[in-house]
């Protein structure tokens, strides 16, 4: 090894520039981010030959003070942070003070700028980072940067650039993302004299999405707006019946900065689990707002990766945001909800008339749309209830007997599973729980003091909830011995009986049955894990115990499994537990592993009633009730839809009545 030298300034500048400026798109990204930080409302980007020969960025932002211009080209010159404390709380896109110096070092660069308070602007011209001229210039408020002949002084770098068209495509991708995350700014991108993108800048994210991706994409989206634990998630995500073959159209922004984030990707996919087909992916444009001091953006020179201090909250906020948006836009749930509202209003007005002498009750407001709330323990498997009644039915009163109503030879499963066959919805009716049995306090109507009035109203709500399953639903019949046809309110619905029953059984299996039946192993199974997986497993021991896994520490990063859920006893426990540990260490909400889940799928599929089965009217009616009383039951475990729905309006339109 030779003698150690301090590198010449020119060489060190070039090395540093290489970290930030890899290709024309890096320049566009840095300069447009500067324009955004400068408070612009309109930004024009013009490129020629994929940006290799020419890049121009014009903005109408705050501009440069004349004396700041030469300083801005020095390395680590920034107006955005002043101390190390500021690094913990970065609210701007830039902060490293490297971009202008790096770009100037590898190109011929011109900057013209004027602030609103100056009469004249200034223009500076640099070649390979050296100032060639600096003079007064007539120009509008704002800044124009022109970068020519990129890498003219480092020809080796030029060789690594792709064809012009590929470089232009990368630039388009970057401008698209900046435009999506800044809908209040109008972006115009011109490539070789052709306008490639022009966003309205009206502050509406959907308009920006429409301008960037077109109407097919924007038309398949539903809004997202949700806040949980200090994390706010807004934007748009794909409808449950729309999907893409890969993740390329999942766009995440954290505090309006485009990021690639495993936490965000995992959370959205968990939110869509069982709602879209296996092998298909949701698409979205989501902005995740977190307190500036709870995210580290100083992880990567291109600032595309971020680190969250509380990954769990970010994961949960996105997960619940997606669940909530999907539930709110589920047609069947909405149709049922509006029927319920109608029935509730009728019930309430009847009650009001009868009791008006004794108590005054405010006319009930329409029910809030369904919003998923994290009611479970942080690490428990996702079980979410949309109404209190549902919660009462499924959690608080688990003692209802389950009845096997369908048990033909060809679909029975082994004895120990037969009780999962069918759940009699009668047993789920809250109505069946008389007030005496219920734990709801009974308040005498004659004493309508303020506080009690509220409790009073909640009792009335309970009573209404009891009526909720008495929705006006009429079964029309069966089609092809596969689909149950029924009407409710102004809607005609077709229900796939196998898919519906399969999902009901799958949820049932997943949520409760496994907890009840365990199998003690003759010989413990030893599972070796990484330290992260091991820690995750130990931290969630209680949850895993409740699922039927009993294990103990067995040396470094190793566990000995002593008991397993009965239903899994003949399967490869090592693989299942390892899968679960990996999921837990990745903070997934639903920890059941792929192997375990496939298993549950196949048990549910085998046990469910099939197309072409002969079923009694009662069975079909019960299946309808199961579906309408649980808005989780909308897709089969593989993501196929369970119901299709047509409104009276749509049908009448087809017949030309409207």
Q: Which is nearer to Mg ion, 29 or 601 (CB)?
A: 29
* Given 52, 99, 171, 172, the residue binding ligand ADP (CB under 6 A): 99
> 481: which residues sit within 8 A by CB, 6+ positions away?
611, 612, 613, 614
Q: Which is nearer to ligand ADP, 96 or 589 (CB)?
A: 96
> 374: which residues sit within 8 A by CB, 6+ positions away?
228, 316, 320, 384
Q: What's the rounded Cα separation, in Å, for the pair 290 and 294?
A: 7
Select from Mg ion, ligand ADP, none the partner in contact with residue 303, using the beta carbon and a kind-dependent cut-off of 5 to 8 Å. none
DSSP per-residue letters across 7-20: PPHHHHHHHHHHHH
Select from Mg ion, ligand ADP, none the partner in contact with residue 26, using the beta carbon and a kind-dependent cut-off of 5 to 8 Å. none
Q: Which two tokens stand for residue 79?
A: 């107006």
User: Does 64 engage in binding with ligand ADP (CB under 6 A)?
Assistant: yes
Residue whose Cβ sits closest to ligand ADP: 94
Least Å distance between CB 255 and ligand ADP? 16
Select from ligand ADP, Mg ion, none the partner in contact with residue 61, using the beta carbon and a kind-dependent cut-off of 5 to 8 Å. ligand ADP
3-state secondary structure of 66: coil
Q: Which residue has the tokens 């007539």?
A: 138
Least Å distance between CB 294 and ligand ADP? 21
Least Å distance between CB 79 and ligand ADP? 3
Burial 621-631 (b: 16+ CB within 10 A, else e): bbbbbbbbbbb
What x-and-dash track marks residues 4-33 binding ligand ADP by CB under 6 A? Answer: --------------------------x---
Residue whose Cβ sits closest to Mg ion: 94
Q: Which residues pair with 146 in a beta bridge?
A: 56, 110
Least Å distance between CB 77 and ligand ADP? 5
> 49: which residues sit within 8 A by CB, 6+ positions away?
164, 167, 192
Site residues (CB under 6 A) for ligand ADP, limited to 117-156? 143
Q: Which is nearer to ligand ADP, 64 or 315 (CB)?
A: 64
Q: What one-character DSSP code corresponds to residue 510?
A: I
User: Does 40 engage in binding with Mg ion (CB under 5 A)?
Assistant: no
Least Å distance between CB 146 and ligand ADP? 12
Q: Which is nearer to Mg ion, 126 or 500 (CB)?
A: 126
Select from ligand ADP, Mg ion, none the partner in contact with residue 95, using the beta carbon and a kind-dependent cut-off of 5 to 8 Å. ligand ADP
Q: What's the rounded Cα separation, in Å, for the pair 292 and 79?
A: 18
Select from ligand ADP, Mg ion, none the partner in contact with residue 313, using the beta carbon and a kind-dependent cut-off of 5 to 8 Å. none
CA 505 to centroid of chain Cα atoms: 26
- 205, 235 in Cβ contact below 8 A? yes
CA 270 to centroid of chain Cα atoms: 8
For the chain, how are helix, strand and coil distributed in percent, rounded to 5? 40, 20, 40
| Residues that contact Mg ion, how many (by CB under 5 A) | 3
What x-and-dash track marks residues 68-97 binding ligand ADP by CB under 6 A? Answer: ----x----xxxx-------------xxxx
Q: Which is nearer to ligand ADP, 16 or 77 (CB)?
A: 77
Site residues (CB under 5 A) for Mg ion, limited to 10-39? 34
Site residues (CB under 5 A) for Mg ion, limited to 82-101? 94, 99
The closest alpha carbon to 602, from 501, 495, 497, 502, belongs to: 502
Q: What's the rounded Cα separation, in Å, for the pair 232 and 294?
A: 13
Q: Which two tokens stand for residue 230?
A: 């200090």
Residues interacting with ligand ADP, by CB under 6 A?
30, 34-35, 38, 59, 61-64, 72, 77-80, 94-100, 143
């Amino acid at each position: 090894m030779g003698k150690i030298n301090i590198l010449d300034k020119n060489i060190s500048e070039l090395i540093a520039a290489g970290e930030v400026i890899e290709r024309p798109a890096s320049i566009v990204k840095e300069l447009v981010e500067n324009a955004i930080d400068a408070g612009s409302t309109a930004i024009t980007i013009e490129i020629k030959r994929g940006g290799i020969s020419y890049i121009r960025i014009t903005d109408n932002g705050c501009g440069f003070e004349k004396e700041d211009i030469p300083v801005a080209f020095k390395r680590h010159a920034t107006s955005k942070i002043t101390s190390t404390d500021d690094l913990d709380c970065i609210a701007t896109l830039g902060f490293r003070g490297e971009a202008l110096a790096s770009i100037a070092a590898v190109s011929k660069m011109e900057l013209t700028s004027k602030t609103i308070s100056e009469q004249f602007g200034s223009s500076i011209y640099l070649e390979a980072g050296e100032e060639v001229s600096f003079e007064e210039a007539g120009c509008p408020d704002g800044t124009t940067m022109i970068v020519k002949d990129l890498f003219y002084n480092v020809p080796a770098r030029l060789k690594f650039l792709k064809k012009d068209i590929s470089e232009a495509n990368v630039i388009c991708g970057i401008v698209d993302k900046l435009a999506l995350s800044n809908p209040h700014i109008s972006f115009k991108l011109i490539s070789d004299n052709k306008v490639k993108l022009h966003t309205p800048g009206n502050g509406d994210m959907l308009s920006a999405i429409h301008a960037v991706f077109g109407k097919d994409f924007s038309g398949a989206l539903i809004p997202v707006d949700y806040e949980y634990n200090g994390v706010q998630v807004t934007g748009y995500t794909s409808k449950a019946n729309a999907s893409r073959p890969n993740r390329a159209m999942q766009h995440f922004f954290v505090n309006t900065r485009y990021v690639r984030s495993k936490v965000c990707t995992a959370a959205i996919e968990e939110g869509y689990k069982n709602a879209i087909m296996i092998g298909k992916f949701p698409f979205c444009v989501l902005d995740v707002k977190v307190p500036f001091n709870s995210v580290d953006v100083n992880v990567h020179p291109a600032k595309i990766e971020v680190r969250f201090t509380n990954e769990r909250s970010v994961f949960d906020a996105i997960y619940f945001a997606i669940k909530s948006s999907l539930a709110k836009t589920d047609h069947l749930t909405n149709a049922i909800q509006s029927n319920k509202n109608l029935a509730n209003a009728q019930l309430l007005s009847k009650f009001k008339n009868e009791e008006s002498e004794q108590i005054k009750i405010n006319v009930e407001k329409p029910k809030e749309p369904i919003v998923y709330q994290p009611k479970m323990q942080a690490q428990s498997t996702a079980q979410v209830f949309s109404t209190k009644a549902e919660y009462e039915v499924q959690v608080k009163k688990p003692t209802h007997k389950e009845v096997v109503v369908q048990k033909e030879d060809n679909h029975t499963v082994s004895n120990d599973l037969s009780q999962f066959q069918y759940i009699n919805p009668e047993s789920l009716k809250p109505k069946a729980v008389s007030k005496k049995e219920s734990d709801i306090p009974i308040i005498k109507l004659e004493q309508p003091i303020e506080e009690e009035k509220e409790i009073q109203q909640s009792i009335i709500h309970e009573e209404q909830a009891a009526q909720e399953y008495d929705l006006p639903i009429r079964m029309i019949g069966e089609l092809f011995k596969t689909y149950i046809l029924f009407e409710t309110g102004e809607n005609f619905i077709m229900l796939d009986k196998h898919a519906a029953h399969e999902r009901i059984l799958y949820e049932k299996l997943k949520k409760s049955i496994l907890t009840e039946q365990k199998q003690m192993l003759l010989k413990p199974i030893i599972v070796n894990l990484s330290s992260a997986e091991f820690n995750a497993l130990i931290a969630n021991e209680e949850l895993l115990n409740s699922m039927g896994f009993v294990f103990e520490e067995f040396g470094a990063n190793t566990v000995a499994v002593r008991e397993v859920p009965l239903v899994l006893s003949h399967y490869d426990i090592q693989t299942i537990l390892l899968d679960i540990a990996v999921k837990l260490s990745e903070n997934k909400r639903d920890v059941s592993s792929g192997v375990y889940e496939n298993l549950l799928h196949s048990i549910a599929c085998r046990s469910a009633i099939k197309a072409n089965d002969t079923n009694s009217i009662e069975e079909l009616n019960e299946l309808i009730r199961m579906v309408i009383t649980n808005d989780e039951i909308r897709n089969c475990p593989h993501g196929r839809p369970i119901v299709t729905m047509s409104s009276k309006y749509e049908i009448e339109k087809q017949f030309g009545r409207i």
